[in-house]
């Protein structure tokens, strides 16, 4: 096949699963991440592992230049790197909000800028942007994460029109709930940021959801979906998959905004009392 795939955020979760699946099926895979120490197993499978930091331009430039020097072309760029940092808008420092955009949006945009000259020259290529069902729906205490993912959707839609004359496809992947580190990291940041503020009750309820309060799909589901997308002769603009993605995106589209908000408030009430509520009730009994 000899198609060269460059994927970011490949040291774990969906990125790792996608890199391993594509490697197994004949692609030449370059898997890039900050935590290269966690990629020894991938190297043993024949995957080329590389370091990249999406907040440092020189790191991204070097990555693309190295792949081009070794292979001469890049056929598929999978912008998978990203993370979720949750907390109330009032509580999240703007520096943290800006970093969320730096990694989830601007890093993706810069990686795309760097590979496009080579794809245009060969008049072919695929840009796969891993968004989220969070790029279509909203949830409380995830405002900065969701706004970054909404931006990924808009960026991708505009790029698709720009790049079509050059034979380059732009594809959006919208994962639902997936069994990765994402949920735990998001819950931890949420409690650190808003666990002891005016939003503490909601924060503890949301943390319960993020920490396994809802069923999730395995990362291989998204790996398979991504492979299907890049192998399609005429790929769809969007592929949603994983637990909850399709039904929640549909509900957001079908319901009035306030009805969707009411669904969320109902879910939060079903999660039970927060730690703060429990402590308050205990104190009242003691009195």
99-153 pLDDT tens trace: 999 999 999 999 999 999 999 999 999 999 999 999 999 999 999 999 999 999 9
pLDDT, mean of residues 51-73: 97
What domain range is 65 assigned to?
4-182+215-255
In 186-202, which positions are buried (b, 16+ CB within 10 angstroms) versus exposed (e)? bbbbbbebbbeeebbbb
Question: What pLDDT, on the 0 to 100 scale, is given for residue 278?
Answer: 45
CB 219 within 8 A of CB 16: yes
pLDDT, mean of residues 35-44: 94
In angstroms, the CA 115 to CA 110 distance is: 9
Domain count, the chain: 1
The CATH code of the domain that includes 95 is: 3.40.50.720
Asked whether residue 284 is assigned to any structural domain, the reply reads no
Active site residues: 11, 131, 145, 149
pTM for the complete prediction?
0.90
Structure-token pair, residue 143: 């405002």
Asked whether residue 9 is assigned to any structural domain, the reply reads yes
Asked whether residue 67 is assigned to any structural domain, the reply reads yes
How far is C-alpha 270 from the geometric centre of its chain's CA atoms? Answer: 27
Asked whether residue 270 is assigned to any structural domain, the reply reads no
Helix (H) or strand (E) holding 13: helix 13-24
Radius of gyration for the alpha carbons in the chain, expressed in angstroms and rounded? 20
Asked whether residue 144 is assigned to any structural domain, the reply reads yes
Asked whether residue 148 is assigned to any structural domain, the reply reads yes
Around Cβ 126, how many Cβ atoms within 10 Å?
23
| 257, pLDDT greater than 90 | yes
In angstroms, the CA 87 to CA 142 distance is: 6
171-207 pLDDT tens trace: 999 999 998 877 778 888 899 999 999 999 999 988 8
Tell me the percentage of the chain whose pLDDT exceeds 70: 93
Residue found under tokens 């440092």: 56
CB 141 within 8 A of CB 201: no
Asked whether residue 43 is assigned to any structural domain, the reply reads yes
pLDDT, mean of residues 231-253: 96
Around Cβ 205, how many Cβ atoms within 10 Å?
23
Structure-token pair, residue 116: 């496009």
Asked whether residue 194 is assigned to any structural domain, the reply reads no
């Amino acid at each position: 096949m000899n198609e060269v795939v460059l994927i970011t955020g490949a040291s774990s979760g969906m990125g790792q699963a996608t890199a391993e699946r594509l490697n197994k099926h004949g692609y030449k895979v370059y898997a890039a991440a900050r935590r290269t120490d966690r990629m020894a197993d991938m190297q043993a499978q024949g995957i080329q592992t590389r370091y990249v930091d999406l907040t440092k331009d020189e790191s991204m430039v070097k990555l693309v230049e190295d792949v081009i020097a070794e292979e001469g072309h890049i056929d598929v760029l999978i912008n998978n790197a990203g993370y979720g940092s949750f907390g109330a808008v009032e509580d999240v420092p703007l520096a943290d909000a800006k970093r969320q955009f730096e990694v989830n949006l601007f890093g993706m945009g810069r990686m795309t800028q760097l590979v496009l000259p080579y794809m245009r020259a060969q008049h072919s290529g695929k840009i796969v942007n891993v968004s989220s069902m969070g790029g279509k729906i909203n949830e409380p205490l995830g405002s900065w994460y969701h706004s970054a993912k909404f931006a990924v959707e808009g960026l991708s839609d505009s790029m698709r029109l720009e790049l079509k004359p050059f034979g380059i496809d732009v594809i959006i992947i919208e994962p639902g709930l997936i069994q990765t580190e994402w949920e735990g990291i998001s819950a931890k940041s949420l409690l650190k940021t808003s666990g002891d503020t005016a939003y503490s009750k909601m924060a503890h309820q949301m943390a319960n959801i993020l920490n396994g309060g809802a069923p999730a799909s395995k990362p291989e589901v998204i790996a398979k979906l991504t492979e299907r997308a890049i192998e399609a002769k005429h790929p769809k603009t969007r592929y949603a998959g994983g637990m909850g993605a399709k039904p929640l995106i549909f509900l957001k589209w079908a319901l009035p905004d306030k009805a969707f908000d009411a669904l969320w408030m109902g879910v939060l009430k079903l999660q039970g009392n927060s730690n703060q509520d429990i402590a308050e009730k205990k104190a009242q009994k003691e009195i």
